[in-house]
Structure 1
Amino acid sequence: MTKSLSQEHFGARARDYVQSKPHAQGKSLERLTALTEPQSGWQVLDVATGAGHVAYAFAPHVARVWATDITDEMLAIVREQAAERKLPNIRAAHAKAESLPFEDATFDLVTSRIAPHHFDSIADFLSETRRVLKPGGIFALVDNVVPEGAVGDYVNAFERFRDPSHLRAWDMAEWRAAISKAGLSVTHEEEIFKRMEFASWAQRHDANMQRFLRAMLIEATPAVREFLQPAADGSTFRLSEGLFIAKAP
């Protein structure tokens, strides 16, 4: 079976994501646990778990966490890390976000963090999330977001040149509408800015591509620069995450 761009990208760099600052740390990870108030009896599903950071954050507070991903190398990392961290209630399983292998009304909480901009269909992912949530269950989402219009298009292009598996980051209004259309009620939303280090963000590329990406960053239009807020030398810049908490009826 031919691997997708996401499987190739994340499979080759799986171990890097264990220590990746935007994934292993960041305000949004803390906010997810604070806002959802996990309970000891909960069954939790983390979709596109990557190196498993959301699963590790929730596991001490709930009965079980299913950490799913389409990349076998990532799932191997999760199993290894769960054992090292002494979190026996984590189960790692292969699953595509748009076709979850779980029965209806199984989970008290479904999470996904910094992943949906890679999904083939966010609408199908949200539909599956609604299906597997128990009545009154919680959906907690974090993903990169962009401004509306041309600035958002530019930021998506910037991200996609760096990582072809990046399909499209949505803006906050698009997420709000899509979550509602899936039959979930948004109870909380916020936008969280994060500072990125260009060197680590672009390190997978050769010098020519890094020069191109840096030029996209520091020679952008004023509107793009206002959003990305690059340092004068392009050494750092800003991205944004949208955080949504929603409930199933």
Structure 2
Amino acid sequence: MNSKEIKTKYEISKSIENTRKGFEESFEEGTLYNRQTQDKAHLERILHFLNINDGMKILDLGTGTGYLAFPIAGRYPKAEIIGLDIVQQALDKNQEKAVAEGMKNIQFVSYNSLIFPFADEAFDVVITRYALHHFPAIKDTFQEISRVLKPDGMFFLTDPTPNDDDTERLVDAYMQMKKDGHIRFYTKKEWLEVGKLAGLNYVDSFETHIRFPKKKQTALEIDDILNRFDKQVIKGYALEIIDDEIWITERVNNILFQKL
């Protein structure tokens, strides 16, 4: 193993740990995390967009609080849903909730964010929501998604994307202010390229928006953003300070792939 490979593995490991710690803190905040991530209209659109049938085995990658997993399990009691994540604290709470609600078609599994703990061609569908921008080795992740999908299996992702004029990636600099392992947002074109490399063909897509708050840690952090980036780009994200929170609006890619 050469020095570059060692550095890469170290950086990946460090990124995963930052993400784990960041999400543990977010889950403890509870109400703010829910305000940042929940969107009933978007959830319903996803559920109508996915073609789920009885008997399907579905993997919810980066399941978090089970925001997608629980509604799918409830709506399709004859499908099997597995939520996969690196944050054991969230998974334990999810499992308790599943038991309390008598949901026998859902379970939650932890992993190290690199190799999925499943056999080849184990799933009919893989889904992921607001998670992939935290993954430090995105091409490897797509290879894993492809590996665990059955032939003709479907992969659906939903994740924010930078505005077209944000060439310097203001949005990534902003998201990285919260130390939760944010790597980067990807454009639709970039997702299609990564998917193609993993043997995943583009099928369909739609675009949505999300507007959410983040706690303002210090006055300097917002001043840094305002001073570093073009005002027109900042305006495009409708970045606004309200009391002790910073609000931002982001476009969201919702993309469906099929394994070759």
Same fold (TM over 0.5): yes
Q: Which residue pairs with 1:29 in the alignment?
A: 43
Matched length: 241
Alignment of 1:176-195 (within 5 A): 176-195=192-211
**Counterparts in 2 of 1:120 and 1:231: CA distance versus 1, 3 Å:** closer
Query: Which residue number corresponds to residue 105 of structure 2?
Result: 89
* Local SS of the residue matching 2:177: helix
TM-score normalised by structure 2 residue count: 0.83
**In structure 1, what is the equivalent of residue 191 of structure 2?**
175
Distance 1:84 1:63 in 2: 19
Q: Report if the CA contact (8 A) 2:35-2:212 is conserved.
A: no
Q: 2:173 matched to 1:157?
A: yes
Letter of the structure 2 residue corresponding to residue 239 of structure 1? E
Whether 1:45 and 2:54 are equivalent positions in the alignment is no
Matched, 1:107 2:123: yes
**1-side partners of 2:187 and 2:132: how far apart?**
12
Give distance in 2, aligned partners of 1:21 and 1:4.
24
Taking the aligned partners of 1:155 and 1:56, their CA distance within structure 2 comes to 30
Over 3 Å counting, the alpha-carbon distance change for 1:98 and 1:239 in structure 2 is same
Q: Secondary structure at the match of 2:205?
A: strand
**What is the Cα-based RMSD across aligned positions, in Å?**
2.5
Q: Distance in 2 between matches of 1:245 and 1:17?
A: 30
| Contact in 2 for aligned 1:192/1:242 (Cα 8 Å) | yes
Partner of 1:9: 22
Amino acid at match of 2:162: V
Partners of 2:86 and 2:111 within 8 A in 1: yes
Q: 1:83: Cα distance to partner?
A: 2.6
Q: What amino acid is aligned across from residue 103 of structure 2 in structure 1?
A: L
Give 5+ residue unaligned stretches, structure 2.
1-12
Identity of aligned residues (%): 23
Contact 2:204 2:255 in 1 (8 A): yes
TM-score normalized with structure 1 length: 0.86
Q: In the alignment, residue 139 of structure 2 is paired with which amino acid?
A: A
**Does the 8 Å CA contact 1:151/1:223 hold for their aligned counterparts?**
no
User: Tell me, which stretches of 5 or more residues in structure 1 are unaligned?
Assistant: none
1:229 alignment partner AA: A
The structure-2 alpha-carbon separation of the partners of 1:223 and 1:26, relative to structure 1 and needing over 3 Å to count, comes to farther
Contact 1:137–1:247 (8 Å) recurs in 2: yes
Q: Distance in 1 between matches of 2:44 and 2:148?
A: 24
Return closer, same or farther for 1:225/1:164 CA change in 2, 3 Å cut-off: same
Change (3 A) 1:24 1:103: same
Is the partner of 2:176 in helix, strand or coil? helix
